[in-house]
Structure formats: C-alpha cells, structure tokens
Amino acid sequence: MATEVLVPTLGESITEATLGEWLKQPGDKVAADEPIASLETDKVSVEVPSPVAGIMGQHAVKVGDTVEVGAMLATVEAGDGAAAAAPAPQPAATESAKSAVPAGGDQPAPAAGGYGNHGATPIDSDAPAALSPSVRRAMLEHGVDPATVKGTGRDGRITKEDVATAASSRPAAAPAAPVAPATPSVAASTGRKEERVRMTRLRQTIAKRLKEAQNTAAMLTTFNDVDMTAVIEARAKYKDLFEKKHGVRLGFMGFFVKAATMALKDIPSVNASIEGDEIVYHDYADISVAVSSPGGLVVPVIRDAQDLSVAGIEKTIGDYGKRAKEGTLKMDEMKGGTFTISNGGVFGSLMSTPIINPPQSAVLGLHRIEDRPVVVNGQIVVRPMMYLALSYDHRLIDGREAVTFLVALKNAIEDPTRILIDL
C-alpha cells in the first residue's frame, strides 16, 4: 500500500514552494520522519520527512517545479525493502537514465534545478547519507563530487567542513588537468562561454521585495561617521574575559544593536511602520540583522533586543550566523522585525545606501573601520572611523528625526558608558 507524501504547511502566508532537491530516489529505503526532499520557500529551505517507513516510490514532481501546500510530492510504498528493493531499483534507474538525457543535455542538467553535480542523478542510493541543502550548495561551489567525500557527521552525513576538506585536497591532482586542454585546442578557440542558472526562490523573493521597497517608499539616506576608538579599546580590554564568561566572542554588533535600541526609544518613528493610512508605533525593538547564507542574504530577528544585554545579543547573532550558513534557520526566526542593521563592513564596504526591509521604515548600514585624520580639540589626529548610513521612508520619518537618531547612536558608540547607564 502506498502512502502519499504531501507538501506540509510552510508558515503564515506561504502557500507555495520550489522543489530544491530529492534526498531519496525511487527504490531507496526510508525510515519514518527521515527527510526525503528539500523545499525552497521565500525565506528558508524546508526538509520534507517521510510520514511512514518503507520504500521510496515514484516522484510526482521534478526539481525546480513549484508546488502548493497540500500537493502530492511522491509516494512511499509499504515494506522493509528486503523484497521490494531487488526488482525496483533496476527499472527506476533505467527510467531515470533515459529521462536524464533529454531533460539535461550535456551541461544544463546541473543548472536546471541548481543542485545537480555531474550526472542526471546528483546523489544515488549508494551514497552514505542524504545531503542537506547547504552541503549541496557547497559542493556546487567547489565542484566536488559527493561520491569522493567521506562524511564525518551524524550517521555518516557529509558536512560543509567535509566538502571544504575534499576541495582543498584536490590541487594535488590538478596539475594533470592542464594537459587535457592542450590536445583539443578547439575548446580554447570557441570564444567566451555563458552559463544560465535558474534563480532560487530566495533570490527571486529578495529581488521582488527590494524592488517593491524602491517603488513604494520615499527612500532617503542620511550619513554620519563615528569614532570607534572607545569601543575598540573596550573590546580589546575585555574580549578574553567576555568570551570566558559568556562563551561567545565580543564583537561590534552587540554595541551597535544595544545603542540602536536606545536611539529607537528616543526616536519612535524610526521604529514604526505604515499600514494603509495608519502609523504603527512599536514599544519593543525587534532588530533584524542581515547575515549572508549560501542562498543569499537572510534577515533573522533578535526579539525584544531592548531587554537583552550585549552578551545576549552577541549569543543570538552568533547562533543565527552559524545556522544561516548551515541552512537551518526557521521561518519564525525571520518573521517580523521593526528595524534592520546591515553590516557591509565585514566585506570591506566603505559606504553604501542600504534599502529598507518592508514593512519596516528604516535600515542602518555599518561599514568598514578605517584610520582617517580627524580634528579633536583643535589637533589633527588619526582615529579609527566608520561611516554610518540610515536609509528611511521619508513618508514617515523626517530628516530631523533621522539625523537625531544617528547622532544618538554616534554618541553611544563613542562613549559606551552611555549604554551602561542608559543615556
């Protein structure tokens, strides 16, 4: 008897998703609650578990297809696989091999769904364990064949560290590669090459939301700079004790998030949003922190940041950053948010005009710290300076309020004691 595997409920207001990859192939043995497929939603990747134990049946949809909540993805046949596995794999493998040639051609096969490797079946039933979405992306980035990687994770699963290790060990065999192009000189003379890769649902959503923000909000950016001397000295003095006590490194984001919550309290319109013809003011600060993931920028939310200490903020950010790279952030962790902080400085950005994250009305952009000459008490001195950029919806926030917010933030960072005594 076959059991249907349906697209699960994906979260509030999310009605559809894209099939990112199949973690199990027809004929594979599956356990109850074992992930058999990965779905890409507007925000995160979601693994779909098998409702029962048995043998993986036929796939009802292809990688890259859009599916709605409640739609059938596949079937799971009853049984332990001892008898059914013998006849099933050969016809299934033959059918997949036949369909692979017209569907993918020579090169587009991996690009069509964004997850394949070098063949029609990205990972077969002989693999030690199914690959998570983040590991799959890492393999694509490094060009690593999963069959050559030994998994060190739980139940023999391949981790991103395993992929990185396999990629770093390849250069020993690389010198032989240049010999091959020497014979077919035609390949070198064919000219420029192009590759077309389908946009992930996350990237499509990012593009759509950012463009909507530009089309809807009356966006304006105001700049200021901040002397980072005091924060750098405090961090250097206490970072070891801080890490020993709290188990997390002391960074700059903890100071900025805490200072921002204080400034938002003083300038509530920066923490507000527009809904129809009403302004919604929030008496709490849910700070969205932009972090990078293999699939693009994601913005998890630090709930009630105004009530957290610098240590609590750093722990939350560290956890979000780690799980963003692993692709294990939950949808609830990225919903809501009243104000966003984006740190382009970690990538070397000197200055930028960040785009607000609707329905929020403002976003703070942090940039790299750079030694610059400044005048202090009539003397030219060299100080570590950072540019701050506040992009805001001018329909709600006036220039005076934007400047006042930045000045309040600047004062708190240049004199961290203000954070301690709430000044």
- Residue 132 CA to residue 137 CA, distance in Å, equals 9
Does 295 have pLDDT greater than 60?
yes
Does 110 have pLDDT greater than 60?
no
- Residue 5 CA to residue 7 CA, distance in Å, equals 7
Q: Which residue has the higher pLDDT, 112 or 423?
A: 423
Does 127 have pLDDT greater than 60?
no
Q: Which residue has the higher pLDDT, 59 or 111?
A: 59
Please tell me the predicted confidence (pLDDT) of residue 231: 94
Q: Which residue has the higher pLDDT, 101 or 51?
A: 51
Please tell me the predicted confidence (pLDDT) of residue 282: 95
Whole-prediction pTM: 0.59
Q: Which residue has the higher pLDDT, 145 or 86?
A: 145
Q: Which residue has the higher pLDDT, 125 or 335?
A: 335
Structure tokens, 274: 């527009």
Please tell me the predicted confidence (pLDDT) of residue 44: 67
- Model confidence at 419, pLDDT cuts 50, 70, 90, reads confident
Mapping DSSP to helix (H, G, I), strand (E, B) and coil, where does residue 364 land? Answer: strand
Please tell me the predicted confidence (pLDDT) of residue 335: 82
Structurally, what CATH architecture does the domain formed by 2-187 represent? Beta Barrel (2.40)
Q: Which of 134, 133, 299 is nearest to 205 (CA)?
A: 299
Q: Which of 75-79, 102-106, 130-134, 222-226 has the highest mean pLDDT?
A: 222-226
Look up 422 and say whether it is catalytic: no
Structure tokens, 63: 């990688």
Residue 413, beta-bridge partner list: none
For residue 300, is the peptide bond before it cis, meaning its omega torsion is within 30 degrees of 0? no
Q: Which of 213, 203, 258 is nearest to 391 (CA)?
A: 213
pLDDT tens, position by position, 237-278: 999 999 999 999 999 999 999 999 999 999 999 999 999 889
Domain coordinates of the chain in residue numbers? 2-187, 206-421
Q: Which residue has the higher pLDDT, 134 or 54?
A: 54
| Strand pairing report for 287-293 and 339-343 | parallel
Tell me the C-alpha to C-alpha distance, in Å, between residue 164 and each of 2, 149, 201, 264, 326.
Answer: 39, 10, 26, 42, 13
Please tell me the predicted confidence (pLDDT) of residue 260: 95
pLDDT tens, position by position, 205-217: 778 877 888 888 8
Please tell me the predicted confidence (pLDDT) of residue 296: 66
- Residue 53 CA to residue 155 CA, distance in Å, equals 17
The arrangement of strands across the sheet holding 66-68 comes to 45-49, 35-40, 16-22, 66-68
Look up 415 and say whether it is catalytic: no
The conformation of residue 59, written as its DSSP 8-state character, comes to: E
pLDDT tens, position by position, 302-350: 999 999 999 999 999 989 888 888 878 887 888 889 999 999 888 888 9
Q: What CATH class is the domain 206-421? A: alpha beta
Q: Is 155 left (phi over 0), alpha (psi -120 to 50) or beta?
A: left
Active-site pick, 393, 394, 415, 422: 394
CA 74, 79, 80, 85 torsion-angle sign = negative
Neighbours of 73 (CB within 10 A): 20
Q: Which of 318, 308, 329, 322 is nearest to 248 (CA)?
A: 318
Number of H helices, E strands in the chain: 12, 18
- Residue 223 CA to residue 240 CA, distance in Å, equals 33
**What integer best gives the mean pLDDT of the chain?**
79
Structure tokens, 52: 């029962």
Q: Which residue has the higher pLDDT, 105 or 70?
A: 70
Active-site pick, 33, 145, 240, 398: 398
